[in-house]
Amino acid sequence: MSANPRPADAQAIAQAAQRLAAGELVAFPTETVYGLGADAANARAVAEVYRLKGRPADHPLIVHVLDAAQAAWWAHWPARAQRLADTFWPGPLTLILLRRETAPAFACGGQASIGLRAPSHPVARALLVAFAAHGGHGVAAPSANRFGRVSPTRAAHVIDDLGDEAPMVLDGGPCDVGVESTIVDLSRERAVLLRPGGITAAQLEAALGEPLLARDAQAPRASGTLEAHYAPATPIELADGDEIDRRIAVLHARGERVALWARSGAGAQADARLSMPADPADAAHALYDALRALDRSGCARILVERVPDDTAWHAVADRLRRAAAGSSGAAGAQRANEA
Ligand code: TXA
Ligand code: MG
């Protein structure tokens, strides 16, 4: 068998497109995270993505398309979708739109709405172009990790996570953005922000010319919106910069080794330490890589410095909160006792 991951040269991309057309899976880079791709119009291929990820069947996937023209094959395309696509596509923005009756329901977990995104990564785009030449309309791709685990931002992460079951992985280097796309629901009367990402609410509102509602109980299901998601195996907890040293002392007194991701100079006593970039986009870029590295450090606990309460940090704050919520209940209860 050929080496995996494969450098994403023209030959590998052509082969990957052929595999997609044949109903096989291919993992590929996008500007946000690596995706686990399948022909979105092939029921068996889409079912295989769910099986491999271990993802519940009612959690819909995002369909990756080249542009608005391909998106309109899948969904009704209102003027405000066009406005957002004009401004942010190709790029890290997923639009939830009403599915066309002619588009297969299995592509979106049977929902009336479908998630669509035109990625900007040159390898993803080249793959979509090559797949379109085989008659493909779009590539369904969730993040290429097992359900509930940290999203892969490098080709090697995909192999680490999926092991022997990994399909062909196109290696396009580390992902630029580093956190999953911003998701905006345009399937209802008012536009709703379902998942914060690299594109901020303010940027979206400026392009839309209308305010964006926060997610509410009526929002369609999105696994990225479950509380316990994006969790490393090691329990993770958040602490303010001025709490870190005290918290490490408490954990050390209990005999626990501590891994730390922090911006401030605090936590010199940590057993493993990575510094968090001061810029929010840089921090997003580094986030999953840092969590994976700290997860492997052999420490009993990952401590992460809380990020500023500022919209520019929204995406990172959201992923960290969920990662902490995904930590073991016992650790959570212990934290509560010590608070
Ligand atoms: O950046 C990204 O979006 C990455 C790359 C690979 O493009 N993909 C990604 O996919 O994060 P995934 O499956 O891990 O997350 C997709 C999110 C899920 O939370 C899913 O439930 C939501 O999009 N979603 C998809 N279709 C939806 C729909 N019709 N209604 C509501 N949520 C939807
Ligand atoms: Mg995911």
| 121 CA distance to ligand 1 middle (Å) | 17
* C-alpha–C-alpha distance, residues 62 and 235, integer Å: 29
Helix, strand, coil distribution of the chain in percent, nearest 5: 40, 20, 45
Question: Of ligand 1's atoms, which has the minimum distance to the CA of residue 224?
Answer: 19
Question: Of ligand 1's atoms, which has the minimum distance to the CA of residue 179?
Answer: 1
pLDDT band at 229 (very low <50, low <70, confident <90, very high): low
* C-alpha–C-alpha distance, residues 45 and 226, integer Å: 25
Which residues have CB under 6 Å of ligand 1? Answer: 30, 32-33, 35, 59-62, 92, 94, 96, 108, 111, 113-115, 117, 119, 141-143, 180-181, 183, 220-224
Q: Determine the average pLDDT of the residues in 224-238.
A: 76
| 223 CA distance to ligand 1 middle (Å) | 7
Question: Of ligand 1's atoms, which has the minimum distance to the CA of residue 32?
Answer: 1
Burial environment of residue 24 by CB neighbours within 10 A (0 to 12, 13 to 18, 19 or more): middle
The whole-model pTM stands at 0.91
| 142 CA distance to ligand 1 middle (Å) | 6
Q: Determine the average pLDDT of the residues in 226-252.
A: 88
Residue ID of nearest Cα to ligand 1 atom 13: 142
Task: Look over the chain and give the mean of its residue pLDDT values, rounded to a whole number.
Answer: 91
Closest ligand, as measured to the CA of 177: 1
pLDDT reading at 332 higher than 50:
no
Question: Of ligand 1's atoms, which has the minimum distance to the CA of residue 145?
Answer: 14
Cα 245–251–256 angle (5° rounding)? Answer: 130
| 44 CA distance to ligand 1 middle (Å) | 19
Q: Collect all residues with Cβ–Cβ distance below 8 Å to 289 and sequence separation of at least 6.
A: 153, 154, 174, 178
- Asked whether the beta carbons of 29 and 16 are under 8 A apart, the reply is no
pLDDT reading at 179 higher than 60:
yes
Cα 221–225–231 angle (5° rounding)? Answer: 130
pLDDT reading at 42 higher than 60:
yes
| 269 CA distance to ligand 1 middle (Å) | 39
Concatenating the DSSP letter of every residue in 280-293 gives HHHHHHHHHHHHHH
Domains along the chain with CATH numbers: 6-214 (3.90.870.10), 236-338 (3.40.50.11030)
Distances (CA, A) of 209 to 23, 88, 181, 230: 41, 14, 21, 32
pLDDT in tens, 248-307: 999 999 999 999 999 988 999 999 999 999 999 999 999 999 999 999 999 999 999 999
